[in-house]
Amino acid sequence: MLHPPLRRRALLATASAALAAAPADRALAFPERSLRWIVAYPAGGGSDALARLIGAAMAEKLGQPIVVDNRPGAGATLGADAAAKAPPDGHTVFTGDSGNMVNAVALFRRLPYDPARDFRAVGLFADFPLVVAVPAASRFSTVADYVSAAKASPGTIACGTPGVGSPHHMAVERFMRDAGIRLNTIPYRGGAQGVNDLLAGTLDSMMVDVASAGGALRARQLRALAVTTPERWRTLPDVPTLREAGLPNYRAPAWQGLVAPAATPDAAIRRLSETLRQVMADAAISARLVEIGVEPLFQGPAEFDALMAADRAYWVPLIRELGITLDT
């Protein structure tokens, strides 16, 4: 039997060991319950579909359900604000994209969250190829034709976008800047009506995404002049990039990734990021994303944070210089 002082020392040593092990035990136990994946867009759209597809695959590996929580409204700021203010315990994640993580900084005078301060990266998972599209019977056969006509008659060629401040709109703004042209930009409320006008031949051109117009492009119901991606898009291999078409520095981000509240523990971020990496390495998941019209990819937290910082450094000053705003 231990002497009382020795017994006290043994008890203290046991308690200290238990306290030291607790954080590690908690890290091993993560996640302890179901996770919430906030999407700042309505159910049924492309962002929602990606979250549900990737979330279901991650849930299998994490051993806990992932529930998609759609919080649309206010130019995607409602969902972002809800995610920023969620408990930072790793059980809430958010679809961060080039709109709510970059463009919104300049588009709104008073943003209820700070993308750089209120979030930390988990991982990048998708890029949305955008296409400069014209009606099948258009007089424009190439980007060179299009740019030449735009230079000859500034502001007369109409170019639709799914809305002011959308990644598509930003892609058009950079296209005009890099090519030295001025188009008559027409913002629609979403992309469907603009695509319908293209198909009807009543709209000169539009910046569309492959996810929403890929079928019409592949069926030659619309003519694709160029893609915005650095390389040719795999389902439209005959369509040149804007870089190939004479704009070597062109880049228009339309990416999506997973972020979490800034104070989320490192251990939770590591587990989530590694799980996302494993899911994005799954050939079946990648094939499904390509089928939808999205480029599957993966970047870890450090790379994703660097991408967001670089895009803010370019796009925020440009948007402010152009005077584009979503404030009413």
Residue 327: predicted pLDDT: 75
Share of the chain above pLDDT 70, in %: 91
Distance CA 125, CA 167 (A): 17
Asked whether residue 13 carries a pLDDT value surpassing 60, the answer given is no
According to DSSP, the β-strands at 205-209 and 130-135 are antiparallel
Distance CA 93, CA 76 (A): 15
Alpha carbons 102 and 96: distance in angstroms, whole number: 9
Kindly tell me if the per-residue pLDDT of 86 is higher than 60: yes
pLDDT in tens, 179-224: 999 999 998 877 788 899 999 999 999 999 888 788 899 899 999 9
> Looking at the predicted structure, is the pLDDT value of residue 15 above 80?
no
Q: Which two tokens stand for residue 68?
A: 């998609």
CATH topology of domain 130-227: D-Maltodextrin-Binding Protein; domain 2 (3.40.190)
Domain ranges of the chain: 32-128+254-322, 130-227
pLDDT (mean) for 166-174? 89
Say what the pLDDT of residue 4 is. 46
Per-residue pLDDT, averaged over 267-277, amounts to 98
Q: Is the pLDDT of residue 163 over 90?
A: no
pLDDT at 206: 96
Q: What percent of the chain has pLDDT over 90?
A: 66
Neighbours of 238 (CB within 10 A): 6
Q: How far apart are CA 211 and CA 44, in angstroms?
A: 13
Give CA–CA dist 161/209, Å, rounded.
10
pLDDT band at 11 (very low <50, low <70, confident <90, very high): very low
Of 40 and 6, the one with more pLDDT:
40
pLDDT above 90: residue 235: no
* CATH superfamily of this structure's domain 32-128+254-322: Bordetella uptake gene, domain 1 (3.40.190.150)
pLDDT in the model for residue 28? 55
pLDDT at residue 275 greater than cutoff 90: yes
* 119-127 and 158-161 strand pairing: unpaired
Whole-angstrom distance, CA of residue 16 vs CA of residue 276? 35
The whole model's pTM is what?
A: 0.79
CA dist., res. 286 & res. 264, Å (int): 28
Ranked by mean pLDDT, which of 14-18, 145-149, 294-298 comes out on top?
145-149
Classified as helix, coil or strand, 131 is strand
Do domains 32-128+254-322 and 130-227 share one topology? The answer is yes
pLDDT band at 85; cut points 50, 70, 90:
very high
Of the candidates 23, 267, 294, the residue with the CA atom closest to the CA atom of residue 122: 267
Mean pLDDT within 256-272: 97
H-run or E-run covering 194: helix 192-200
Identify the band that residue 284 occupies on the pLDDT scale cut at 50, 70 and 90.
Answer: very high
pLDDT bucket at 22, cuts 50 / 70 / 90: very low
